[in-house]
């Protein structure tokens, strides 16, 4: 039977934890194992791709388009707004690349 006094108001588990912490505090550094058994290895970022899951924000904007242009894209079925956006993005990137190339020259 344990005759040591436990602090008043603490449960058995709390008293045991305090005793373990006090015992650990008295150990020399050479006897303390500081490795973390739950630690996972660091991920290998060599094959990481920046922006892989990036999705540009969408902005609701009214845009005037010629009727025949809109009819053409709508005739291609669902997703016509996405296709229009892809075409505009391709043109934007081409223009940006040309601007950057001109600045370097």
Note whether residue 60 is domain-resident.
no
Give the model's confidence band at 1: pLDDT under 50 very low, under 70 low, under 90 confident, else very high. low
CA distance 99 to 105: 10
Residue 49 reports pLDDT greater than 60: yes
Termini Cα distance of the chain: 88
Distance CA 19, CA 4 (A): 11
pLDDT band (50, 70, 90) for residue 11: confident
pLDDT of residue 87: 97
- pTM (two decimals): 0.48
**Mean pLDDT value across residues 98-102:** 90
Residue 84 is assigned to a structural domain of this protein: yes
Q: Is residue 93 part of a domain?
A: yes
Q: Report d(CA 27, CA 34) in Å as an integer.
A: 12
Q: Cβ distance 25 to 18 under 8 Å?
A: no
Count of domains forming the chain: 1
Domain boundaries, position 98: 67-104
Distance CA(105)–CA(96), nearest Å, equals 14
- Put residue 9 in one of left, alpha, beta given phi > 0 → left and psi -120 to 50 → alpha: left
**Is residue 10 a part of any domain in this protein?**
no
């Amino acid at each position: 039977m344990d005759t040591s006094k436990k602090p008043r108001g603490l449960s058995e588990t709390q008293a045991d934890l305090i005793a373990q912490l006090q015992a650990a505090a008295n150990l020399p550094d050479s006897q303390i194992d500081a490795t973390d058994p739950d630690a996972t290895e660091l991920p290998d970022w060599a094959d990481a791709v920046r922006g892989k899951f990036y999705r540009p924000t969408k902005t609701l904007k009214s845009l005037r388009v010629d009727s025949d242009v809109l009819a053409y894209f709508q005739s291609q079925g669902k997703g016509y707004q996405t296709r229009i956006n892809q075409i505009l993005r391709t043109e934007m990137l081409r223009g940006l690349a040309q601007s950057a190339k001109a600045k370097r020259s």
